[in-house]
């Protein structure tokens, strides 16, 4: 739930949802949101040198975007716009709800596996339950790979949204390189 995630972002990561973002970014976000008939997402800033950005929420109208201060330290304004457009792309495409629903499938399959395996007590009927449990576990493993594929696909669509919005694919490419390099520096120090 976004409310509880907001609380954890504030408590554990000291996210500031009231911090002023640069004017160019505020205008950019407002333009995208008006084009896609959505409310402006709440923007939270975490004071952290590691560059990172992510989105959460239920729908595009209650989306939250978290940015670290490290993003503003190493990215140009055009690169920041590309990253934020990518995150808004997740909201526009309802990726948060889609991935939540998709991840229920392996969760349910694993629960079925646990229940049926726990029911096995050695008689003939319980061996049938074990087979059902094992089949559920096999589908659980398969579903995990499907979730990985779906997750990557959603990232590609968010990248495409960023390109379509900014008309600047190089900004997203250089931002990804800088973020990747920045994360390796942040974790090694």
142, HSE (Cβ side, Cα atoms, 13 Å): 7
| Band (174; pLDDT cuts 50, 70, 90) | very high
Higher pLDDT pick, 16 / 128: 16
Lowest mean pLDDT among 25-39, 67-81, 112-126: 112-126
Q: Which residues carry out catalysis?
A: 87
Share of the chain above pLDDT 70, in %: 96
How much is the pTM? 0.88
Q: Vertex 106, ends 101 and 111: CA angle to 5°? A: 115
Give pLDDT tens digits for 102-158: 999 999 999 999 999 988 887 777 788 899 999 999 999 999 999 999 999 999 999
**145-169 burial, b if ≥16 CB within 10 A, otherwise e?**
eeeeebeeebeebbbebbbebbebe
| Band (1; pLDDT cuts 50, 70, 90) | confident
DSSP 53: E
């Amino acid at each position: 739930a976004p409310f509880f995630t907001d609380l954890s972002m504030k408590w554990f990561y000291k996210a500031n949802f009231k911090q002023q973002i640069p004017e160019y970014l505020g205008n950019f976000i407002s333009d995208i949101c008006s084009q896609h008939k959505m409310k402006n997402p709440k923007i939270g800033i975490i004071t952290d040198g590691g560059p990172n950005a992510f989105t959460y929420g239920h729908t595009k109208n209650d989306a939250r975007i978290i940015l670290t201060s490290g993003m503003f330290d190493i990215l140009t304004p055009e690169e920041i716009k590309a990253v934020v457009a990518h995150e808004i792309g997740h909201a526009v495409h309802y990726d948060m709800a889609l991935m939540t629903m998709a991840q229920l499938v392996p969760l349910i399959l694993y629960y079925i596996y646990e229940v049926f395996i726990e029911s096995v007590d050695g008689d003939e009927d319980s061996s049938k339950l074990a087979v059902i449990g094992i089949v559920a576990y096999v589908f659980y493993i398969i579903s995990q790979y499907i979730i990985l594929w779906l997750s990557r696909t959603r990232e590609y669509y968010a990248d495409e949204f960023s390109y379509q919005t900014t008309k600047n694919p190089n900004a997203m490419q250089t931002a990804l390189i800088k973020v990747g390099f920045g994360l390796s520096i942040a974790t090694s120090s």
